[in-house]
Amino acid sequence: MSKLAFSLIELILIVILIGLISFLVFRLPSFSSSKEVSILNLRNLLYPNGEFYLFNDGSELLIKDKNQTLNLKFSLPEVFVYNGEFFEKKEFGYLKNRKIVFKYTVKNGIGDSFILKNNNEFYVFKPFFIKKFNSFEEAKNFFLLKNYQPKEGEYY
């Protein structure tokens, strides 16, 4: 007698095999610890709620579910915030008697908004993305684009 269909056991084994292969292809790379960490993907690392601190001694602190170090390359970073008329340098204060030179917070999926100067590169931090520029003028012009500004009565 010839066999015309798969048995239930064979179908279950095929489904399990396809599931395992798809897991290895799609999900396993995201668990890798060799994922490159850069300033541009800092928001994604902190999503949906997290904070990143850089102290004047060069140490870093990432607060999400647990404390860990990212080893980002910072060299005397400067943060500029827009006060409605012009950009001014922001001072962060202290945390546990250590001076903070850079702080970035993501709360409920929305990040802080400012311009970061680091190693002669400029990064525009907006609530939903981070973008890199080569000059302060380019970063400032992009930051001030009307379609990226808050509406009347709103703030980031």
Evaluate if residue 32 carries a pLDDT over 70: no
Whether residue 136 is contained in a domain is answered as: yes
Domain presence at residue 76: yes
pTM, to two decimals? 0.69
**Domain-embedded: residue 53:** yes
CA 57 to chain centre: 22
Tell me the average pLDDT across 28-36. Answer: 54
Residues 49-60 pLDDT 10s:
889 888 988 888
> Does 27 fall in a domain?
no
**pLDDT at 31 (0 to 100):** 53
- Between 67 and 2, residue with greater pLDDT: 2
Four-residue CA torsion sign, 60, 64, 51, 121: positive
Residue 19 lies in a domain: no
Domains of the chain: total = 1
In a domain, 16, yes or no: no
Percent of the chain with pLDDT over 70: 80
59 within some domain: yes
| Nearest residue to 50 (alpha-carbon basis) of 80, 70, 28 | 70
Choose among 79, 35, 34: nearest CA to 54.
Answer: 79
Smallest CA-to-CA distance from 142 within 152, 131, 127 is with 131
Is residue 91 one of the residues assigned to a domain? yes
For 55, the domain range is 36-148
Exposure on the CB side of residue 97, measured as CA atoms within 13 A? 0
Residue 74 pLDDT: 81
Name the pLDDT band for 43 (thresholds 50, 70, 90). confident
Which of 72-76, 101-105, 120-124, 152-156 is the least confident region? 152-156
List pLDDT tens digits, range 65-115.
Answer: 555 556 677 888 999 999 888 899 999 999 889 999 999 999 988 899 999
